[in-house]
């Protein structure tokens, strides 16, 4: 099954999110095993030695075992159950001041040493055209260390039957609540990554992620109208315990919409989604104009991702992504001149250690211990996201620790950290925030998204839209999308709810680079208010 | 990668099939060597070669199926992959939509392979980067681009005696040229099977001209305009629309091709009569693989003819359930047009906007296929048959279904690879009335 087939099978609105190469399919018992650390160290030392002998001034080795499982269903059918495994070694070197990379799936000493020598040969060949040598920020050798996602239940160890039964009960709940169609899927990821470098680090990591998307569709045959509502879960850096559906992790909006924090009740959400999809069929179309928007965390994450996460990636700022994803309006002079990115309510941090998040690891893919740092402080742009060979360009001497490769066979590069809006400092809940809005729209869930190549002009939809009139949440609206210019939007931020409302959302398959790589990243926020935002009506008639 | 000949591939696949005790077996063998060079800021940034060959085995016990794949080909590995697929099939729930394997089919060879592409060397890739960078460096311009090429094969065989083998090559080049003051940007792309049809030196000149010409863009008010979309600008909207051609989605009432009250719009006039799009794997201009992902042989047939929907995508299961003939899924989109170039279309335009590229296209409403996206890398105002000046980029909110009912004129189709589409395409430049721009973008 290739990526396109997957999209056809599920029928989800996954366009724009990239799916990784899934590797080879394997039987169930291999999904809970790990490789011996001693064996990995021996392989790594072989590569490091061969690279040094061939003339490398620096070398890092990543031995990766990538396990995925997905279970795909629609209505009362399990459409597919797939286990995949991909194992191999990637060797990156600096020789003559230039990067070289090579990878192999053959873990024999001879093959690993040959890959190291090939990486050095590529570096030397490319060095002839190099105008400036690589400058690598120092990072301490850590010796032998380990890190593991703090999961409670290893999802790979849960029997396939339990997963299929869960999804079929989810689908049944939606159909019983009046849905015409429902798709639900489980994506489970385990990255077993071993990193070693000539700096003296040997890092063993066991990273787990989970995603449980669903989509429910209701149809009015007579009018030919159809409407869908996607699930309100988030992909998480958690184990199977995310699906326990704990009542304590539910956040009920003032109008009864149920959102989820660190535990998801998938059956309940499917039932609610069916009700919402039916309600959408009859909901009135929005009147276009300027509105104050109150944006739920299940919606906010995507706006943060596109309008703050991407423009503050240093490789984009510098022009390395100009031919594909694009550049950035947040140029270096803006940081130097204390650019007012947003209002003083806006503080945004990058964070590679946040528990439960998709981006959390102990160490990044070039052996740097991860951390948390400010990107926007009280509205002012203060920093970017940068890795070892970039930080010198912004006058810093310590990598931010956000280097990642999606496979042993991909070369690691700068990827987005978890980028999150910090909760407001004053006590504020959603009800109080809404009470101050005269003419607004409350938006729940992520929908359609599009942004230009410098991250100025964006348009976002959502899953659920509710009118706010004179401080009260009212009827459901349809056909809503808002358009924004990034700095104006963030400067229109009039308030952020406090810590009690803080939750994370995220992207399981964020694409970047040529050849393309995916990564998973979370974005946290509390519900936030933005004043005077341009809302368009997206209804059209095909005659 | 070992390039398996047809006989070698058949021998290996038949060996695998004999190893299985399942009711049915389908084995696929595919491999390629893919090379690339990436450059940015007038420097090569990365380059590499990835080789991969993979064997996939799908087995079925009744309605239970399992898939396993491997990239080693010794006898023990072949045995292991077959047993793994069998074990998964036994664990899987029954799927009553699973279809039996096809009996022997006839697959003609499609023109998807060129030896010259298979012979590309690292030196050639470096030269493409140099040919792209050199004219920019000396002219106050900054180049960023990517060349990827691949050569390989795909084969399959099943336990009912069906077999297919096809070799394939691909070259894809894109280059963005920006003025060093960041005020102008141009882009060019080329996608071919045969690298002899690609010349980086002339191709990069397209991006250079657009970069220089797009400096100091003026702002126009958003609204409805007559536009000329270059093929690259139109391709992303048209290929996106194909999501709505799935027959099952249409029959289920969740596609723009669903009919009120039930059923689908196959055979109905949905587009302007000027719209004709065909699929033909044997096209020499933009060929496609001769079978689809269910191994159904592809043939030449209309998708849209004179504005009438002539084809929907039926899976084998859905075709059987609906009593329809088995027709393969489409691999390419060949849209008919006229004889005029983009320049000639501009000459015949009183007032309008030339869009050379569209970007970040996303579905806003599946009911109407309303798409949003932006113009990028060169947008221009046309007056009295001439390009008057560069204009700032726009966001559009437009449905390709509406757009293909607002056609003024179509030009000569060109080979295009979509940014986010798997189709090979021939798409004409098109002059359209009332194209909807909803806001301005400051992005260059």
User: Predicted confidence band at A389 (pLDDT cuts at 50, 70, 90)?
Assistant: very high
Is A96 strand, coil or helix?
coil
Q: Are residues B48 and B94 in the same domain?
A: yes
| CB contacts < 8 A (A, B) | 218
What mean pLDDT is predicted for residues A142-148? 98
Q: Tell me: the pLDDT tens digits for B350-375?
A: 999 999 999 999 999 999 999 999 99
| B212: phi then psi, degrees, rounded to nearest 5 | -65, -40
Q: Tell me: the pLDDT tens digits for A442-494?
A: 999 999 999 999 999 999 999 999 999 999 999 999 999 999 999 999 999 99
Residues in A touching B254 (Cβ below 8 Å): 181, 217, 219, 226, 228
* Tokens, residue A124: 């030397």
Task: Identify the CATH number of the domain in which residue A173 sits.
Answer: 3.30.2290.10
Q: State which residue of chain A sits closest to B358, comparing Cα positions.
A: A452
Domain containing B227 equals: 217-444
Rg (C-alpha) for chain B, rounded Å, is 24
User: How far B345 CA lies from chain A's nearest CA (Å)?
Assistant: 27
Domain containing A45 equals: 3-282
Q: Are residues A324 and A247 in the same domain?
A: no
Give the other-Cβ count within 10 Å of B209's Cβ: 14
Task: Decide which of A47 and B98 is more confident.
Answer: A47
Q: Are residues B119 and B40 in the same domain?
A: yes
What mean pLDDT is predicted for residues A384-404? 97
pLDDT confidence of residue A30:
60
**Whether residue A13 has pLDDT greater than 80:** no
Q: Which of A248, A282, A316 is the last residue of a domain?
A: A282
Asked if residues A325 and A309 have their Cβ atoms less than 8 Å apart, the reply is no
Tally of domains in chain A:
2
The whole-angstrom separation of Cα A257 and Cα A466 is 11
In a domain, A543, yes or no: no
The whole-angstrom separation of Cα B247 and Cα B258 is 9
pLDDT confidence of residue A528:
98
Q: Is the N-terminal amide bond of A403 cis, ω within 30° of 0? A: no
Q: Are residues A271 and A376 in the same domain?
A: no
**Whether residue A2 has pLDDT greater than 50:** no
In chain B, which among 354-413 make CB contacts under 8 A with chain A? 359-368, 370, 372-374, 376, 393, 395, 397, 399, 401-402, 405
For residue A128, count CB atoms less than 10 angstroms from its CB and return exposed for 0-12, middle for 13-18, buried for 19 or more.
exposed
Average pLDDT, chain A: 92
* Tokens, residue A352: 């590679």
Q: State which residue of chain B sits closest to A165, comparing Cα positions.
A: B93
Q: Which of A282, A307, A335 is the last residue of a domain?
A: A282
Task: Please compute, for residue A48, the number of CA atoms within 13 A of its CA located in the half-sphere on the CB side.
Answer: 19
The whole-angstrom separation of Cα A392 and Cα B50 is 31
Give the other-Cβ count within 10 Å of A248's Cβ: 7
Q: Which of A226, A251, A282 is the last residue of a domain?
A: A282
Asked if residues B114 and B169 have their Cβ atoms less than 8 Å apart, the reply is yes
Q: Which of B177, B192, B212 is the last residue of a domain?
A: B212
Residue B244 is classified by DSSP as G
Q: In what helix (H) or strand (E) does residue A258 lie, and over which residues does it extend?
A: strand A258-260
End-to-end Cα distance, chain B:
42
What mean pLDDT is predicted for residues A487-514? 96
Q: Are residues A211 and A244 in the same domain?
A: yes
Closest Cβ opposite residue B395 in set A79, A221, A483: A483
In a domain, A274, yes or no: yes
* Chain-chain contact of B363 with A24 (C-beta, under 8 angstroms): no
Q: Are residues A298 and A271 in the same domain?
A: no
pLDDT confidence of residue A286:
98
Sheet with strand B301-305: strands edge to edge: B308-309, B301-305, B277-279, B332-335, B424-427, B414-417
Q: Are residues B258 and B199 in the same domain?
A: no
Residue B309 near chain A (CB below 8 Å): no
Q: Are residues B233 and B382 in the same domain?
A: yes
Residue B438 is classified by DSSP as E
For residue A29, count CB atoms less than 10 angstroms from its CB and return exposed for 0-12, middle for 13-18, buried for 19 or more.
exposed
Closest Cβ opposite residue B176 in set A28, A103, A322: A322
C-alpha closest to that of B20 among B59, B49, B70, B64: B59
Q: Which of B192, B212, B232 is the last residue of a domain?
A: B212
pLDDT confidence of residue A105:
81
Q: Tell me: the pLDDT tens digits for A156-183?
A: 999 888 999 999 999 999 999 999 999 9
The whole-angstrom separation of Cα A383 and Cα A404 is 19
Residue B330 near chain A (CB below 8 Å): no
* Chain-chain contact of B293 with A24 (C-beta, under 8 angstroms): no
Residue B77 near chain A (CB below 8 Å): no
In a domain, B246, yes or no: yes
User: How far A271 CA lies from chain B's nearest CA (Å)?
Assistant: 20
Asked if residues B336 and B410 have their Cβ atoms less than 8 Å apart, the reply is yes
Rg (C-alpha) for chain A, rounded Å, is 24
pTM above 0.90, yes or no: yes
* Chain-chain contact of B69 with A25 (C-beta, under 8 angstroms): yes
In a domain, A94, yes or no: yes
What mean pLDDT is predicted for residues A65-92? 87
Q: In what helix (H) or strand (E) does residue B283 lie, and over which residues does it extend?
A: none
Task: Identify the CATH number of the domain in which residue B206 sits.
Answer: 3.30.2290.10
Angle at A434 between CA A429 and CA A436, to 5 degrees: 105
Q: Are residues A480 and A509 in the same domain?
A: yes
**Can you say whether the dihedral through the CA atoms of A18, A23, A28, A32 is positive or negative?**
negative
Task: Please compute, for residue A262, the number of CA atoms within 13 A of its CA located in the half-sphere on the CB side.
Answer: 14
The whole-angstrom separation of Cα B288 and Cα B110 is 7
C-alpha closest to that of B165 among B1, B30, B24, B59: B30
In chain A, which among 460-499 make CB contacts under 8 A with chain B? 461, 479, 481, 483, 485
* Tokens, residue A243: 């699906």
**Whether residue A21 has pLDDT greater than 80:** no
The whole-angstrom separation of Cα B34 and Cα B50 is 5
* Chain-chain contact of A514 with B36 (C-beta, under 8 angstroms): yes
Q: Give the lowest-confidence range in A28-42, A417-431, B285-299.
A: A28-42
The whole-angstrom separation of Cα A317 and Cα A375 is 14
* Tokens, residue A166: 């869960």
Q: Are residues A432 and A359 in the same domain?
A: yes
* Tokens, residue A126: 């490319």
Q: Which of B212, B234, B263 is the last residue of a domain?
A: B212
Residues in A touching B401 (Cβ below 8 Å): 542
Q: Are residues B227 and B355 in the same domain?
A: yes
C-alpha closest to that of B136 among B40, B215, B47: B40
Residue B98 near chain A (CB below 8 Å): no
CA A422 to chain centre: 18
Q: Are residues A128 and A46 in the same domain?
A: yes
Which residues are paired to B374 by β-bridges?
B359, B395
Q: Tell me: the pLDDT tens digits for B111-149?
A: 999 999 999 998 899 899 999 999 999 999 999 999 999
Q: Are residues A38 and A161 in the same domain?
A: yes
Q: In what helix (H) or strand (E) does residue B183 lie, and over which residues does it extend?
A: none
Q: Are residues B355 and B440 in the same domain?
A: yes
User: How far B271 CA lies from chain A's nearest CA (Å)?
Assistant: 10
Asked if residues B15 and B120 have their Cβ atoms less than 8 Å apart, the reply is no
C-alpha closest to that of A219 among B270, B362, B246, B367: B367
pLDDT truncated to tens, each residue of chain B (444 aa)? 568 999 999 999 999 999 999 999 999 999 888 888 999 999 888 877 777 788 889 999 999 888 877 777 889 889 988 988 888 788 788 888 999 999 999 999 999 999 999 999 988 998 999 999 999 999 999 999 999 999 999 999 999 999 999 999 999 999 999 999 999 999 999 999 999 999 999 999 999 999 999 999 999 999 999 999 999 999 999 999 999 999 999 999 999 999 998 999 999 999 999 999 999 999 999 999 999 999 999 999 999 999 999 999 999 999 999 999 999 999 999 999 999 999 999 999 999 999 999 999 999 999 999 999 999 999 999 999 999 999 999 999 999 999 999 999 999 999 998 777 889 999 999 999 999 999 999 999
In a domain, B1, yes or no: no
Is B22 strand, coil or helix?
coil
In a domain, A208, yes or no: yes
Tally of domains in chain B:
2
Residue A226 near chain B (CB below 8 Å): yes
Q: Are residues A336 and A198 in the same domain?
A: no
* Tokens, residue A333: 């002079």
Which residues are paired to B61 by β-bridges?
B64
In a domain, A257, yes or no: yes
Where are the extended beta strands (E) located within B180-220?
Answer: 185-192
């Amino acid at each position: 099954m290739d990526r396109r087939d997957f999209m056809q099978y599920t029928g989800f609105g996954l366009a724009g999110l990239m799916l990784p190469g899934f590797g080879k399919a394997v039987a169930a018992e291999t999904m809970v095993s790990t490789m011996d650390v001693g064996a990995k160290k021996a392989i790594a030392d072989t590569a490091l030695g061969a690279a040094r002998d061939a003339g490398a001034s620096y070398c890092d080795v990543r031995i990766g075992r990538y396990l995925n499982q997905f279970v795909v269903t629609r209505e009362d059918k399990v459409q597919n159950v797939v286990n995949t495994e991909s194992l191999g070694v990637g060797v990156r070197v600096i020789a003559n001041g230039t990067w070289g990379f090579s990878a192999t799936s053959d873990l024999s000493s001879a093959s690993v040493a040959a890959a190291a020598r090939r990486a050095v040969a590529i570096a030397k060949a490319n060095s002839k055209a190099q105008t400036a040598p690589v400058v690598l920020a120092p990072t301490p050798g850590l010796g032998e260390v380990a890190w593991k996602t703090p999961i409670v239940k290893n999802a790979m160890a849960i029997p396939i039957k339990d997963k299929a039964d869960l999804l079929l009960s989810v689908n049944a709940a939606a159909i019983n609540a009046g849905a015409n169609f429902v798709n639900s899927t489980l994506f489970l990821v385990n990255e077993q990554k071993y990193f070693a470098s000539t700096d003296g680090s040997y890092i063993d990591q066991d990273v787990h992620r989970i995603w449980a998307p669903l989509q429910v569709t209701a149809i009015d045959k007579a009018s030919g109208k159809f409407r869908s509502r996607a699930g309100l879960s988030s992909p998480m850096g958690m184990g199977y315990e995310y699906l326990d559906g704990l009542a304590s992790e539910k956040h009920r909006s003032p109008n009864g919409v149920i959102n989820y924090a660190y535990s998801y009740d998938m059956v309940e959400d499917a039932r609610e989604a069916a009700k919402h999809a039916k309600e959408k069929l009859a909901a009135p179309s929005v009147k276009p104009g300027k509105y104050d928007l109150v944006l739920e965390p299940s919606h906010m994450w995507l706006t943060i991702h596109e309008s703050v996460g991407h423009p503050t990636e240093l490789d984009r700022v510098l022009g390395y992504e100009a031919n594909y994803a694009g550049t950035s309006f947040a140029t270096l002079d803006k940081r130097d001149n204390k650019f007012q990115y947003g209002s003083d309510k806006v503080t945004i941090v990058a964070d590679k250690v946040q528990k439960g998040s998709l981006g959390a690891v102990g160490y990044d893919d070039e052996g740097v211990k991860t951390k948390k740092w400010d990107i926007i402080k009280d509205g002012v742009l203060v920093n970017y996201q940068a890795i070892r060979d970039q930080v010198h360009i912004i006058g810093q001497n310590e990598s931010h620790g956000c280097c990642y490769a999606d496979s042993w066979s991909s070369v690691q590069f700068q990827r987005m950290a978890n980028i999150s809006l910090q909760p407001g400092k004053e006590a504020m809940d959603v009800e109080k925030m809404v009470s101050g809005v005269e003419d607004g729209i409350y938006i729940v869930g992520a929908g359609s998204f599009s942004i230009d190549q410098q991250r100025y002009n964006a348009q976002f939809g959502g899953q659920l839209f509710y009118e706010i009139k004179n401080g009260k949440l009212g009827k459901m609206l349809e056909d809503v999308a808002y358009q924004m210019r990034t700095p104006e939007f963030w400067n229109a931020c009039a308030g952020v709810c406090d810590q009690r409302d803080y939750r994370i959302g995220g992207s399981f398959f964020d694409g970047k680079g040529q050849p393309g790589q995916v990564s998973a990243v979370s974005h946290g926020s509390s519900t936030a208010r933005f004043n005077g935002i341009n809302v368009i009506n997206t209804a059209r008639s095909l005659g | 990668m070992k390039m398996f000949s047809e006989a070698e591939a058949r021998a290996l696949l038949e060996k695998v099939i004999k190893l299985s005790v399942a009711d049915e077996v389908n084995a696929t063998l595919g491999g390629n060597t893919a090379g690339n060079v990436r450059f940015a800021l007038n420097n090569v940034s990365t380059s590499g070669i990835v080789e991969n060959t993979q064997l996939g085995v799908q087995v079925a016990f009744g309605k239970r199926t399992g898939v396993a794949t491997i990239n080693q080909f010794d006898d023990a590995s072949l045995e292991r992959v077959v047993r793994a697929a069998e074990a998964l099939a036994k664990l899987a729930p029954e799927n009553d939509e699973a279809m039996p394997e096809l009996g022997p089919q006839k697959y003609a060879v499609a023109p998807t392979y060129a030896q010259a592409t298979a012979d590309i060397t690292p030196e050639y890739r470096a030269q493409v980067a140099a040919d792209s960078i050199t004219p920019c460096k000396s002219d106050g311009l900054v180049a960023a681009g990517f060349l990827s090429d691949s050569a390989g094969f795909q084969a399959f065989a099943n336990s009912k005696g069906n077999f297919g083998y096809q070799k394939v090559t691909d070259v894809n080049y894109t280059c963005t040229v920006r003025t060093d003051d960041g005020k102008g940007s141009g882009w060019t792309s080329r996608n071919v099977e045969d690298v002899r049809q690609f010349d980086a030196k002339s191709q990069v000149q397209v991006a250079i001209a657009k970069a220089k010409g797009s400096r100091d863009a003026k702002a126009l008010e958003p609204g409805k305009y007559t536009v000329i979309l270059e093929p690259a600008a139109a391709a992303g909207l048209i290929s996106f629309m194909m999501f709505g051609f799935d027959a099952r989605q249409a029959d289920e009432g969740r596609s723009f091709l669903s009919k009120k009250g039930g059923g689908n719009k196959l055979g109905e006039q949905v587009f302007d009569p000027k719209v004709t799009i065909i699929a033909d794997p044997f096209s020499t201009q933009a060929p496609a693989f001769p079978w689809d992902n269910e191994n159904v042989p592809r043939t030449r047939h209309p998708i849209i003819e004179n504005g009438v929907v002539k084809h929907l995508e039926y899976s084998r299961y859905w075709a059987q359930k609906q009593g329809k003939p088995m027709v393969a899924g489409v691999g390419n989109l060949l849209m008919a047009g006229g004889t005029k170039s983009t320049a000639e279309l501009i000459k015949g335009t009183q007032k309008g906007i030339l869009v050379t590229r569209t970007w970040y296209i996303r579905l806003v409403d599946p009911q109407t296929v309303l798409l949003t996206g932006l113009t990028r890398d060169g947008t221009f105002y046309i007056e009295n048959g001439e390009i008057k000046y560069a204009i700032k980029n726009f966001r559009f909110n437009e449905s390709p279904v509406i757009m293909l009912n607002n056609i003024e004129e179509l030009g000569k189709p060109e080979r295009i690879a979509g940014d986010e589409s798997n189709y090979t395409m021939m798409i004409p430049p098109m002059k359209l009335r009332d194209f909807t721009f909803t806001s301005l973008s400051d992005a260059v």
